[in-house]
């Protein structure tokens, strides 16, 4: 069974950085792309970017360049996303989702980030 387990709720100050994780099991970690998607309260979904753990190749939505950084640790079957220079606009639920470059087969449960002073 494919499982994506995301890190828990995060609280951060404006201007700070936060790093969240997505640990996978049940499939070959290095063979599929891992995407990250943002959802603000009551809003739709925004694609942040993707990483291919097999070679750490990354592609970002231009909107999130400089804001998000994706990394992968193959020994831990875990992908990380670091968000920097946080503002209230970064408060959202962040999902990791694995799949092909074109669609996202399996999703994590989401990590809620609250940015507040």
Interface residues toward other proteins, by CB under 8 A: 35, 44-47, 59, 61-63, 93, 95, 97, 99-107, 109-110
In the complex, what is the shortest distance from the CB of residue 112 to other proteins, in angstroms, rounded to a whole number?
Answer: 9
What SS3 state is found at 61? coil
Q: Which CB atom, from 15 or from 101, has the smaller least distance to other proteins? A: 101
Q: Which CB atom, from 46 or from 73, has the smaller least distance to other proteins? A: 46
In the complex, what is the shortest distance from the CB of residue 11 to other proteins, in angstroms, rounded to a whole number?
Answer: 18
Q: Assess contact for 10 and 114: CB atoms under 8 A.
A: yes
Q: Which CB atom, from 1 or from 75, has the smaller least distance to other proteins? A: 1
- For 31, other C-beta atoms within 10 Å of its C-beta total 10
Q: Assess contact for 43 and 99: CB atoms under 8 A.
A: no
Helical (H) or strand (E) element with 96: strand 92-99
């Amino acid at each position: 069974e494919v499982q994506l387990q995301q890190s828990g709720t995060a609280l951060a100050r404006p201007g700070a950085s936060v790093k969240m994780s997505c640990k996978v099991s049940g499939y070959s970690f290095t063979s599929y792309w891992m995407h990250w998607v943002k959802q603000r309260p009551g809003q739709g979904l925004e694609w942040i970017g993707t990483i291919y753990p097999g070679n750490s190749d990354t592609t970002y939505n231009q909107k999130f360049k400089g804001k998000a950084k994706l990394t992968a640790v193959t020994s831990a079957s875990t992908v990380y996303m670091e968000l920097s220079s946080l503002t209230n606009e970064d408060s959202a639920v962040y999902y990791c989702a694995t799949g092909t470059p074109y669609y996202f087969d399996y999703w994590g449960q989401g990590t809620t980030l609250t940015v507040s002073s």
